[in-house]
Structure 1
Amino acid sequence: MDCVSPILDIATRLWNCTTNHTAYISHLQDNLHSLRDAKRELENISKDIEIRVELAEQQYSVRTNQVKGWLESTQLIVIEANDILQKGDQEIQKKCFGCCCPRNCCSSYKLGKEAIKKIDAVKELIKKSHFDVVADRLRRPIVDERPVEKTVGMDSIFGEVWRCIEDPSIGGVIGLFGMGGVGKTTLLKKLNNECLDTTHDFDVVIWVVVSREVNLEKIQEAIWKKLQIPVDMMSNKDSDERAIEIFHVLKNKKFALLLDDLWERIDLLTMGISIDHSRTGSKIIFTTRKEDVCSQMEAHRRFRVERLPSEAALDLFRLKVGENILNSHHEIPKLAEIAARECNGLPITIITVARAMANWRTPEEWQREIQVLRRYRLEIPEDHNILKDELIELWIGEGFLDKFYNIYDARNHGEYIIGRLKLACLLETGPYRNIIKMHDVIRDMALKLASETKDMILVQECGGGLRLSRQKEVIRMSLWSPGVEFFDETLTCPCLSTFLVKDSELKRIPNTFFRFMFSLSVLDLSCNKDLIRLPLELGELINLHYLNLSYTNIDVLPFAVMNLTRLRILLLDETKNLKGISRTLISRLQSLQVFSRILSSTKIRNYDESSSDEELLEVLHYDQSSGNTELLEGHYDHPWNEVELFEGLEFLKRITDISITLSTFPSVLKFKSSPKLQCCIKRLTIMCTEMVSLDISSSAMQRMENLHMLSIRDCHSLREVKICLEDDHERIQGVLVPKCFRSLGYLRVENCLVKDLTWLIYAPTIKYLWVDNCPELEEIIANDLGSSEIEESIELFSKLESVNLVSLPSLKSICRGAMPFPSLQNLEVMDCTNLRKIPFDSSSAKKSLNAIKGSKTWWDALEWDDEAAENVFASKFIESEFLLFKPASSALPSTYTKQLQRFK
């Protein structure tokens, strides 16, 4: 019995083993079915998981490593299962003995065993497929790269801004401002993308487009999405709560916030942005069209994005046109230069025009397209300028400033508007401070906006005659530049309110020309040197508010002009042939507020490129395109009864702004005795050859509170200008002089015999001083009144910005002792051989001075009280044998600066 039990156990084990192994063979088909079902279930589960993963990845998530491994295992095991199933199906087809026994038991055994194992593996993967999370939120890159076209001419400003971003010592807010289309957004994109390639330690770089209509919620959304704050945390919160969440995420991060297209100040704190630059080194960089937004945003650095210089503009144009087009004909490269110039350095225009020109391959096509470019630009020729005063006077004539009864309030508001337009980059500063201009793209935009309204504006480059098919609809008409010599017919323009014909060759106007211009309020015929007679029907323009006849050769002002009872502004500057204006005529213009007739005394002569800049300022006609300069005005050859004119002006109740020339001694006496004229005077030129002394009472000086410009010229007998103080307490005793010229900013003294200009102590607001050809002038401020205490008490020269001293052989002193000159920018001394000292010490004009110009001989002969001052100003000296600085344009009557092309 003891032997039987072990034998039985062994037999049982052998039987079980044999049974299990034979099951691999006998149950092969069933096992293959089970494997096929399990594989199908696994594949379906895998597809569902892949869909979940793809959806998550579209939401800036990344699949977990667990899911990634499971999908890889699933993919592998499905391949292995398919292999087993394929081999198993083949094995079953090979069975013998009536399809009951396999031909190859070993092969069937092996497949059966693999099928069982694979079923278990598939079931294990199915068991592990219950994932709660298939993907984790992806950490977005620090910087999102932004598509940007290749740029030209932007490297310099890019480098400057990037250095400010990298420099931890520079404050955290940087403003980029400039006109639309100049490339501000492109520059900001380049700065954004630079963060991809440059080693920096920003934790995050955020890009937000703000635009004109500020939407706080959209700005916050752009920020919190970049910061990857979960949507469910922000969706049900108000703006204040979202700001708190953003603040908590950013407060310890070093971030760069890039804000594109700001139109006004935005409160960063309300968005959750609190920039603690000193602690985190964060930066905020924004773009705007308005310079004052930089101030409102408290920018530590601001950069004006300028138009491209000509070479860079041409390079960009060639890049966008393509070399294959440029090389298609030998004339096209030259035409490309012309087309590029028409774009005026504005990248957006260059790119647009270049892409359009890339469609043309022949010179004829290019020439045609260039003509189209020129034909539909605004009426203002390239680089045309206008004095601010002239533009404001046009606005007054148009009625834009009607709410101001006082003309000076209207002027001040006009100045404010111009300032706002300049800050918005809709207007630009011209070659001088008081000159403004508008560039081509803004003109095009203005015309397009005008074309979308009911008002019809005709702007025509003259040269082919006046072509006007819709006369009755025209509201404003501007004909500028040579080409119009005469009008052949009467224009039927009943809606016309503004008519400008300037700088042309107009010789004749038909008597009936203005017959059907019932609504005309602004008429500008200035700078037509061949215009001699005016039509009598000019007096029928009863709605006329503005009449400019300056720089014409009219000899008579039609008596019918007295019917223009609504006329507010009458400009007659440099009408040298005008015989006179009667007291009766001028006194009938009861609405007149502004009257100007300033004359120059410069002799007829021609000028070339060697002429001094001051000489050029005397020029009354300047053709910038050709560079030729021709003087139109000569001596005032037709003296007429100025006293009669002044008496007529005195009779006008609304007159508040007068600019006149005193050329005779009786007219000087009349002016000195007329409180009305003194109160209204704005610009005054005195050219009285017989006058020996000019005495101004302190009360008269006080009345001339609006006097802005004073020119004393060609008074060949004048030896002194004296202020007559009427009370002892007005005398200078170390205290501020109570009565003075309150507004006098521009003074020119030329061709006189005065020995000093000490009376300037009564002109504390003087900005520009020009003294020329006064052979006996020894001092500007006489020594006996030049103590530093008195100079400081009256703030002498505290606003002085520019000084030109020319041909003063006797001049020895400007004033005694050093003075601060806190505003002085330019000093030019020419042919003043006896001026051995300038009133500077090492702290004079410390922050303002740009340059001192004069001959090297004069500079080397200067005497200095301390070596430190000499060292300081040596770096400011520029050798010059001719005048480079000019008085600002407003230092002269607007008519003195005809060559500074005017705004249309």
Structure 2
Amino acid sequence: MGNIFSISASCDTVITRCCDCVARQAHFVCKLEENVEALKTAIAELTDLRNDVIRRVKIAEDQQRLIRLDQVQGWLSRAETLINEADLLTVQSPQEIKKLCMGGCCSMSPKSNLKSGKQIAKMLRGVVDHKSKGVFDKVAEEEPTPLVTERPTEHTVGLESTFDKAWNILEAEQVGIVGLYGMGGVGKTTLLSKIHNKFCESPNRFDVVIWIVVSKGFYIGKVQDDIAERVGIAGGTWQNKTPEEKALNIFRFLKVKKFVILLDDIWDRVDLSKVGIPLPTQENGSKLVFTTRSIKVCGQMEAHKKIEVRCLPEEKAWELFQEKVGEETLDGNPCIRELAHELAKECGGLPLALVTIARAMAWKNTVEEWKYAIEVCRRSSTSVFPDMDEEVYPLLKFSYDSLPNDMTRTCLLYCSLFSEDYQIIKDKLVDFWIGEGFLDGHGDTSLARNQGHHIIGSLLHACLLQEIDEFRIKMHDVIRDMSLWLTCKCEEEKWGFFVEAGYQLTKLPEVQNWGSIRRMSLMKNRIENLVEAPNCPDLQTLFLNDNQLKVINNDFFQFMCGLKVLNLSSNTGIEELPVGISKLVSLESLDLSYTGIRQLPTELKALEKLKCVNLECLSPGVRIPRQLISAFSKLQVLRMFGCDYSLGQEVEDNSECLVEELKCLNHLNVLTVTIRSAFGLDRLLSTERLCSFTLYIQLQLLKDSKRLNILSLANMKSLVYLDLRKCESLEEVEMEWGGRMIKAQSHIEAFVIVSKHCYQSLRYVSIMQCSQLKDITWLIVAPNLRNVRVIGCSNMEEIINERKLSQVAELVETLSLFGKLEYLYLRILPELKSIYWDTLPFSCLKEIYVHRCPKLKRLPLNSNSAKENKISIRGKKEWWKKLQWEDECALNDFLPCFTSLD
């Protein structure tokens, strides 16, 4: 009986479970139609939530310059996938619902309905669950600043022993503060850079390594701001804090860290307590290293050890000198090497002098030229340098005297108007030179600009200027000091320079004789109001940029009738210009970029001599009176990049009116402009003369365009810079000519088409937040590209598409894809999988930057790519570890080239 009962119970359980299973299966079918409607509602709610999150992310990225959180990006990507999959199910659901009968209780195709019911129910649960995870307190945050970053350094000669001595001292636990002192140009900054990078080789030893340039005329606030920016505490209300509050915040951060701070170019004592830097001690293990030109400052800074950076001994000086001159020149004549030895001795072992003069002599191939150089150096200096004013500057003046003509020398001295370490934009500098009348193009405006860039090249070649990148240069502080010394010494030249740049002035300085001043620089100060009207009829250049200007008195310009160059840029607090600016009837160059000006006064029409006007990045919606721009009949350069302007009327796009005014300017040859509609672009393209200008074009918010035919821009023969920004509806950039995609029928035809229509002048391409673009294969028609930046394009899958390129396969060799590319910058491209499917030689490439491109697993590089030049690769360690290489040899070749962003 027991066994019978047991069997009976087991059967009942099985039957019950079978009934439950059938009931659940029936439930999926019966609830099919109800679940479909619920899924549609859930999809709509998830879509709305996704759009809200995207909107918050865009505001954070565009306006606050924050970086979206990975969890937010992951949620958005999953939401996109769910919405697409759910939409597909709901589209298919009506067919399944038709198979139901008896009010949905039965089915004519139970197997199909059951499968569909399960999918709908599962998707509904997934959508509802994902929607519940889409509530974020914050969607973005500031990008973390890497605490240790390597600095670029050049190959050095003769600093090895000093470096070893300094490093051994820093290794000692009892030494916390080290001062490096020596004359200008002796190599202190280079030595400090090597020490900095040595610390970076052991990133786990210190929590943070901070490099700060102090320079003459420093103020504590700048040092505090630089430190805060470096360690990532400069956000929020930082700028509103008092110096004492900033010092407290810095102290709280650093006191729990083992830090290294390197201060370059100290002229006076820096009070560490006022800055907020804890005193480095044996207990906290932190280090402070600084450079200065005075041993007195070492004492004031209470350095535990003082190290003199001396001039090079004779054998090392000769080694450096011959390296910079080059063996070809030294061996060009049997006598030159011996003369070169003599000239090197005259440099007294000063590295800056050795490098400067060696480069000046690198192309001198006659004995007479070398003998002359030796005699000039002997007359102006001795073999030692006890004083910069008497010895070093006259020595460096030889390089100045060796410049080809007075025009080049004048242009060099003009650069000293910019503050120390200032990054000078080449195009702006040429604008100022044109305004001053330095450049003589014989009426040819294009020739004058080319002449200006030729002079910049000459000064770079002479090592009197330093190149930062293709667009910016800087002046070494010793060369700048020498230039200012020259303007004071050469009284017969009547330079009349007055330079107090970066001195933190809050008002106009007191000047005894305004009438003697011809060029004045008060840039990078804290001047707010210009009230007094200085009497300076001979003033030709006035730099007031990078101040805190709010008010300019109407009479301020009253006695400046000879002013030719006025730079008011980067004064965001100034909202209007005084009508008295009309007094500047001699003005030829006016820079108002990055100011808060809301409306340009009609009185500007009186400035009939204007040749260069810069209105880039003015206050959004700035009103420009009609016929104002066209009134500048002599205008050669007009810069309106990033300027959201209104030409006297309330319309969405003012491009048509602007083009009509530009047509009146017969001398215009450089135009930078932002265009916000396809119609505006068409208006520009339809004006043949405008297309012949040197053009910098930004296409932004092209809401009315899903496609852009890149060859429609081919008439812009001098297009240098192309920026596609926030064109979120743009899906395709095509290469279509004559109503068809370019397809080469023969190699000859291909060459003719591309050589005629590709962008020979295009150097810089930036593509930002064009969310629908999947590739930028069109870059093949720009063979001379130097710089490519792609940022925040959420659907970008590849840079060059193999299928599209195959349509013009015969062109690849002709165009030398990326043959001149120097910089490739890729950031926030979540779908990017490929740059190019094969390897490329990259003969000119200097740097590849990759950040937040998780699917990019391979770079178009192999061992041969590294032979021509050293390529720097920057990215996160996690990304680098997952990179796939052609072989182990390629990985080993590029391993030293990688710099971590962590």
Counterpart pick for 1:668 among 677, 681, 686? 681
Deviation at 1:438, TM superposition (A): 4.3
Q: 1:856: which partner in 2?
A: 877
Alpha-carbon distance between aligned partners in 1 of 2:726 and 2:688, rounded to the nearest angstrom: 25
Q: How many residues matched?
A: 538
Change in CA separation of 1:159 and 1:382 when aligned onto 2, cut-off 3 Å: closer
Counterpart pick for 2:776 among 749, 757, 760? 757
Counterpart pick for 2:426 among 365, 371, 388? 388
Confirm whether residue 191 of structure 1 aligns to residue 229 of structure 2: no
Q: Which amino acid aligns with 1:795?
A: S
Q: 1:501: which partner in 2?
A: 544
Q: Is the 8 A contact 2:577 2:601 kept in 1?
A: yes
Q: Is the 8 A contact 1:692 1:717 kept in 2?
A: yes
Counterpart pick for 2:440 among 402, 418, 427? 402
Deviation at 1:452, TM superposition (A): 4.5
Alpha-carbon distance between aligned partners in 2 of 1:727 and 1:420, rounded to the nearest angstrom: 46
Change in CA separation of 1:667 and 1:702 when aligned onto 2, cut-off 3 Å: closer
Q: 1:522: which partner in 2?
A: 565
Deviations 1:569-617 (A, max 9, x none): 110111124533244111121101100112289xxxxxxxxxxxxxxxx
Confirm whether residue 713 of structure 1 aligns to residue 732 of structure 2: no
Counterpart pick for 1:442 among 462, 468, 482? 482
Q: 1:841: which partner in 2?
A: 862
Deviations 1:296-347 (A, max 9, x none): 4599xxxxxxxxxxxxxxxx99xx99xxxxxxxxxxxxxxxxxxxxx99x99
Unaligned runs of 5+ in 2: 1-153, 162-182, 189-308, 326-332, 348-352, 368-383, 396-414, 645-649
Change in CA separation of 1:862 and 1:188 when aligned onto 2, cut-off 3 Å: closer
Deviations 1:102-141 (A, max 9, x none): xxxxxxxxxxxxxxxxxxxxxxxxxxxxxxxxxxxxxxxx
Q: Which amino acid aligns with 2:676?
A: S
Q: Is the 8 A contact 2:517 2:538 kept in 1?
A: yes
For the aligned residue pairs, the C-alpha RMSD in angstroms reads 4.3
Deviation at 1:719, TM superposition (A): 1.1
Q: 2:617: which partner in 1?
A: 574
Alpha-carbon distance between aligned partners in 1 of 2:561 and 2:895, rounded to the nearest angstrom: 64
Counterpart pick for 2:853 among 821, 829, 832? 832
Alpha-carbon distance between aligned partners in 2 of 1:540 and 1:656, rounded to the nearest angstrom: 27
Counterpart pick for 1:659 among 672, 675, 678? 672
Alpha-carbon distance between aligned partners in 1 of 2:541 and 2:338, rounded to the nearest angstrom: 54
Alpha-carbon distance between aligned partners in 1 of 2:635 and 2:346, rounded to the nearest angstrom: 40
Q: 2:690: which partner in 1?
A: 677
Change in CA separation of 1:742 and 1:293 when aligned onto 2, cut-off 3 Å: same
**Matched ranges for 1:786-825 at <5 A:** 786=805, 790-825=811-846
Alpha-carbon distance between aligned partners in 1 of 2:476 and 2:724, rounded to the nearest angstrom: 34
Q: Give the 3-state SS of the residue equivalent to 2:343 in structure 1.
A: strand
Q: 1:422: which partner in 2?
A: 460
Q: Give the 3-state SS of the residue equivalent to 1:448 in structure 2.
A: helix
Alpha-carbon distance between aligned partners in 1 of 2:558 and 2:583, rounded to the nearest angstrom: 8
**Matched ranges for 1:457-472 at <5 A:** 457-460=497-500, 461=503, 462-463=505-506, 465-472=508-515
Counterpart pick for 1:779 among 792, 798, 811? 798
Q: 1:487: which partner in 2?
A: 530
Q: 2:706: which partner in 1?
A: 693
**Matched ranges for 1:27-106 at <5 A:** none
Q: 1:886: which partner in 2?
A: none
Q: Which amino acid aligns with 1:863?
A: Q
Q: Is the 8 A contact 1:683 1:707 kept in 2?
A: yes
Alpha-carbon distance between aligned partners in 1 of 2:581 and 2:660, rounded to the nearest angstrom: 24
Deviations 1:659-717 (A, max 9, x none): 0111244423323333333322521111115143343463x533322221111111121
**Matched ranges for 1:14-413 at <5 A:** 157-158=157-158, 182=186, 190-191=314-315, 258-260=341-343, 289=357, 291-296=359-364, 348=392, 380-413=418-451
Confirm whether residue 456 of structure 1 aligns to residue 469 of structure 2: no
Alpha-carbon distance between aligned partners in 1 of 2:643 and 2:621, rounded to the nearest angstrom: 14
Q: Is the 8 A contact 1:181 1:347 kept in 2?
A: no
Q: TM-score, normalised by structure 1?
A: 0.54
Unaligned runs of 5+ in 1: 1-153, 162-178, 196-206, 211-242, 265-284, 300-315, 322-342, 352-376, 602-636, 882-904
**Matched ranges for 1:610-649 at <5 A:** 641-649=654-662
Alpha-carbon distance between aligned partners in 1 of 2:537 and 2:639, rounded to the nearest angstrom: 29
Q: Is the 8 A contact 2:708 2:733 kept in 1?
A: yes
Counterpart pick for 1:741 among 741, 752, 759? 759
Q: Which amino acid aligns with 1:388?
A: K
Alpha-carbon distance between aligned partners in 2 of 1:831 and 1:155, rounded to the nearest angstrom: 33
Change in CA separation of 1:708 and 1:794 when aligned onto 2, cut-off 3 Å: same
Q: Is the 8 A contact 1:579 1:640 kept in 2?
A: no
Q: 2:113: which partner in 1?
A: none
Q: Which amino acid aligns with 2:696?
A: R
Q: Which amino acid aligns with 2:859?
A: I
Deviations 1:18-58 (A, max 9, x none): xxxxxxxxxxxxxxxxxxxxxxxxxxxxxxxxxxxxxxxxx
Q: Which amino acid aligns with 2:681?
A: V
Q: Give the 3-state SS of the residue equivalent to 2:798 in structure 1.
A: coil
Q: 1:511: which partner in 2?
A: 554
Q: Give the 3-state SS of the residue equivalent to 2:600 in structure 1.
A: coil
Deviations 1:437-458 (A, max 9, x none): 2424224323324545334232
Change in CA separation of 1:756 and 1:406 when aligned onto 2, cut-off 3 Å: farther
Deviation at 1:464, TM superposition (A): 5.1
Q: Which amino acid aligns with 1:878?
A: T
Deviation at 1:485, TM superposition (A): 1.9
Q: Is the 8 A contact 1:576 1:638 kept in 2?
A: no
Confirm whether residue 722 of structure 1 aligns to residue 734 of structure 2: yes
Change in CA separation of 1:573 and 1:873 when aligned onto 2, cut-off 3 Å: same
Higher deviation after alignment, 855-864 or 645-654: 855-864
Q: Is the 8 A contact 2:157 2:316 kept in 1?
A: no
Change in CA separation of 1:792 and 1:480 when aligned onto 2, cut-off 3 Å: same
Alpha-carbon distance between aligned partners in 2 of 1:182 and 1:874, rounded to the nearest angstrom: 33
Q: Give the 3-state SS of the residue equivalent to 1:814 in structure 2.
A: coil
Q: Give the 3-state SS of the residue equivalent to 1:684 in structure 2.
A: strand
Q: 2:599: which partner in 1?
A: 556
Change in CA separation of 1:572 and 1:474 when aligned onto 2, cut-off 3 Å: same
Q: Which amino acid aligns with 2:824?
A: V
Q: Is the 8 A contact 1:672 1:696 kept in 2?
A: no
Q: Give the 3-state SS of the residue equivalent to 1:793 in structure 2.
A: helix
Alpha-carbon distance between aligned partners in 2 of 1:726 and 1:704, rounded to the nearest angstrom: 17
